[in-house]
Amino acid sequence: MRALLGVLAVSLAAPAAAQDLPPWVGVWEGTVGTYPVRACFESFGEGPGRGAYYYLTRLEAISLSEEDGEITWKESAAGSESDAFWQPSEMNGAHVRGTWMQGNRKLPFELTPLAWTEGEWGGPCSSAEFLASRLGGGDVAEEGAELDGWRYTRRTYRPPEHFAEDVSIESFSYPPAEAGDRAINAVLADYLPKETMDDDFAECVAGALSSVGADGFYSVTATPTMASRDYLNVSVDSGNFCGGAHPNFYTYDHTYDRHTGEELDLFDWIGEARTDGEDLTIREALRALVVARWPVDAEAECRDLAADTEYWSLGLAREGLVFRPDFPHVATACEEPVTVEWSALEPFLDDEGKRGLARLRAE
């Protein structure tokens, strides 16, 4: 996840060089009428400025965008524009003041600067000084669940109200029975936020605020799909918009050895795999097995795309290995998990794969 966010950070439009920034760029605090607010303003070269603010009593981010060629800042909240806007009479390094207007309603606003430090994304809207006070107030709900007789506890993060529509995070835990289970539970617990700026969801929100002045969205669900005495397979469904050109959706599997607590690389089980940088490919003969098992009711173009795709991720099932294609972003909806049974896979298993299969079958 952090690698993905790093790529997104590079892709976003960068603010103007520090020496060229207008004096009003930064984090601000003050009032709109009598209501306490915190705001941030960003500048992007010759383009219109962007920002956001929230009422300290509600904490819901409201986007601000500078009207091109106008001395006004337009509001939008929860992804939709409103007829409210800010008309500044003064914007400098010491004061931002003017009139907030919506229809016939008018309120004075006056803000003074807060010291802030650049975070991962660089601008004031993604800084801890603007965002951190919005991160607390959630909790975790727990509910018993079962997978083929194996019991575990579903753990769902319930965000504070101002993130309720944009943040969805779920993981699980289970009673330790093998030597590596405590280490695996620790990894599963890390999916749930600690409500600090180091959380993945906070970093995602910060990126969206820096990019578009809104919270974006962040969703991740970690679910057990296979649990045996020796192995645990976890499927992670994720979707987010952290700024940039488009949202991201993907599913991937993590397979753990319950005796060591270590994550397995299932490509080490099949001799036909080869490493290409950080990506793993499967050769044509193995890919043909996967495509032959592609869902019969799938679109023909999706099957054709799978036949030409070299890059896949792997998961573990009792019946065999689960192959997930890595399609281009525009074809994400075509991705399907395909299980290739052990009897067909055995010719491709190397020594490590044969030992792993023997352990699975011995249970």
Q: With the CA atoms of 61, 19, 128 and 159 taken in that order, what torsion angle do they form, in degrees rounded to the nearest 10? A: 30
Element (H, E) at 348: none
- Fold agreement between 2-134 and 265-363: no
Classify residue 234 as left (phi > 0), alpha (psi -120 to 50) or beta: beta
Tens digits of pLDDT across the chain (363 residues): 444 444 344 334 444 444 578 999 999 999 999 999 999 999 887 778 899 999 999 999 999 998 866 678 999 865 556 789 999 999 999 999 999 999 999 999 999 999 999 887 889 999 999 999 999 999 999 999 999 999 999 999 999 999 999 999 999 999 999 999 999 999 999 999 999 999 999 999 999 998 888 999 999 999 999 999 999 999 999 999 998 888 999 899 999 999 999 999 999 999 765 555 455 678 888 999 999 999 888 888 888 888 888 888 999 999 999 999 988 888 888 888 999 999 999 999 999 999 999 999 998
Q: Which two tokens stand for residue 179?
A: 């030597």
Among 63, 71, 17, 11, CA closest to 44: 17
One-letter amino acid of 175: P
User: What are the extents of the domains in the chain?
Assistant: 2-134, 265-363
pLDDT of residue 177: 97
User: Which of the following CATH numbers is that of domain 2-134: 3.30.70, 2.40.128, 1.10.3470, 3.40.390?
Assistant: 2.40.128
Q: What is the DSSP string of 90-113?
A: EESSS-EEEEEEETTEEEEEEEEE
The whole-angstrom separation of Cα 85 and Cα 103 is: 10
pLDDT at residue number 3: 41
User: Which letter does DSSP use for residue 361 in this model?
Assistant: H
Residue 151 to residue 2: CA distance in whole angstroms: 31
Tokens coding 150:
């194996």
Q: Which amino acid is at 51?
A: G
User: Which tokens hold the place of 79?
Assistant: 């992804």
CATH class for the region spanning 265-363: alpha beta
pLDDT at 51: 93
| Amino acid 159: pLDDT | 97
Phi, psi angles (nearest 5°) of residue 107: -135, 140
